[in-house]
Amino acid sequence: MSASRPAAVIVLAAGEGTRMKSRTPKVLHELCGRSMVGHVLAAARELDPERLIVVVGHGRDQVIDHLKQVEPDAIPVVQERQGGTGHAVRMVFEQLGALPGTVIVTNGDHPLLRGATLAEMVHAHEDQGNAATVLSTDIPDPTGYGRIVRDATDAVTAIVEHRDASAEQHAIHEINVGMYAFDGELLGAALGRITTDNAKGEEYLTDVMGILRGDGHRVGAYKAADWVETQGVNDRVQLAQARRQLNERLLLRHMRSGVSVIDPNTTWVDADVTMEPDAVLHPNTQLHGRTHIEAGAEVGPNVTLTDTTVGADAQVSYAVCDSADIGPNTSVGPFAYLRPGTRLAEGAKAGTYVEMKNAVVGEGAKVPHLTYVGDADIGPGANIGAGTIFANYDGVAKHHTNVGSSAFVGSNSVLVAPVEVGDGAYTAAGSTVVKDVPPGAIGIARGRQRNVEDWVERRRAGTASAAAARRAGAGESAAGGEDSAKGDE
């Protein structure tokens, strides 16, 4: 039997998270390209709930703004004061009304939890006919966690906090993860019966279990197989641990899909990165955002890509690329920087110490080394010499440069935009090109060379250069004398 579509998933994201010691709300701290709450929302969305609800409190303006970006259909519910988990869920019912059907309650600081695990909990909840189902897991060290106590039928009879547990209960390793599936109507009725008779004076959602069981309803528990994915994040250490665990999970998924990762320990990928079989990632590679690597491409070592596409059989090494489109069979690097708007067509090259921005490089065109290309179109088969600068900015506005197909830009040229170098045209090395070069022409824009004889010996007397010049001059005189003598003969 498959689980029904939940009436709602409620994500608790109102806590301050003081142990993070941060101006940023805890649930907005990022790992693998998403905020913590972003990962939770992605898992919840896999259940296709009728309503996705997020309880916000601390830093609520920041959290609500973030929700608009990552999950605009999510409904924020404000918890004005931190009155406990039961109080947070009660605010949902008071602000949104009844939620008939299955209601899931999860936490915004559990970024490792899989949507499949939530779906399995819902299935167990409905299959067993429970009024409430607790997500539990067996953990190696249960110290500090509430223990799950079951009866002979496997129903949950109690959730006993560590400080209240007996010696026998301390031996239980099945703990409460803090996530639940409820019958929405029964949950709504029970919330109004929770008391604040506890040390913190708060409304605890766990008290609903006792209320429902006291009313004769069954309370069950679904045990997650992987205890690691049930762990929450409370400080920077746990955030780093979760980041490492999630990265390992993502890399395993890619490797099992046919991607070669040479050194998983130094390779980092975001959750939205996609790769095709036979892609190869070399050490110290970082793939961020919605980067996509096509079949046969080799990325790394020492590459950082953000929102970048790498075409089939391309090679990218020692490079930083942001929002670039790298075509098939291209070569990028080493030590290249491709900025937003850069597009390399098939077989193009952006080589050593090349920076590009808003540049389109045609099929087979080459920008081999020591060049800045900004706001330009470079035609197919063109070659850009070393030290070339596309001077696109006049201090007020950006201007465009066009280099035609099979054009040749000589080394150390400056192309002052707006300017066009036509198809098959050349520019002489060292030229500052400020006017269009027609197709097939050569543009020469440099001063004539003038040599001042004996300048070094006059102006740099006593230096090694002057001595070398003097020796060279003496050698030339001797050779000249020999030639003169031979000529006399």
Tell which residue, 469, 56, 33, has the closest CA to residue 287: 33
Q: How far apart are CA 368 and CA 378, in angstroms?
A: 13
Tell me the two tokens of residue 153: 């039928």
Count other Cβ atoms within 10 Å, centred on residue 244. 14
The candidate with the shortest Cα–Cα distance to 401, out of 409, 393, 410, 392, is 392
Q: Count the neighbouring beta carbons within 10 Å of the beta carbon of residue 280.
A: 17
Quick one: which of 332, 407, 341 has its CA closest to 374? 341
> Which tokens go with 219?
């309370």
Catalytic annotation present for 162: no
List Cα–Cα distances, 468 to 88, 450, 451, 475, in angstroms.
86, 21, 17, 11
Listing DSSP states for 221-277 in one string gives EEEES-GGGG----SHHHHHHHHHHHHHHHHHHHHHTT-EES-GGG-EE-TT-EE-T
Cβ(77)–Cβ(87) below 8 Å:
no
Rounded Cα gap, residues 450 and 142, in angstroms: 85
From 29, 39, 292, 369, the catalytic residue: 369
CA distance 35 to 25: 10
- Distance, in Å, from the CA atom of 60 to the CA atom of 297, rounded to the nearest integer, reads 43
The Cα–Cα gap between 331 and 334 comes to 9
User: Which residues are annotated as catalytic?
Assistant: 369
